[in-house]
Amino acid sequence: MEETEELFDYIVGDMVKTKDGWVAEVTAVLTNTVVGDLSHTKNFESLGLEFEKQVLLKSEIELLERKTK
């Protein structure tokens, strides 16, 4: 039986980083994805994205900072 990589449980408010180096604040958590506010990325305007909130795959992001209570 092959082991599958367990996806990290993110929570709203966590700061994450994508494989492309984009930084986002998690605004919603879904099964295999999160919605992230990419306006926290330096030079966000130069990314050419129409909206600051984007769907991000959990398998392609890493936790930068856990939301503090």
- Look at the block and give the residue holding tokens 């990290």: 8
Q: Tell me the domain boundaries of the chain.
A: 15-65
Whether 27 and 53 have beta carbons less than 8 Å apart is answered as yes
Q: What is the pLDDT of residue 2?
A: 43
Residue 35 token pair: 């919605």
Whether the Cβ atoms of residue 24 and residue 40 lie closer than 8 Å to each other: yes
Give which of 67, 37, 34 is closest to 49, Cα–Cα. 37
pTM, rounded to two decimals: 0.84
Residue ranges for the chain with pLDDT beneath 70: 1-8, 69
Locus of tokens 């604040």:
25
The residue count for the chain:
69
At 7 the pLDDT is: 62
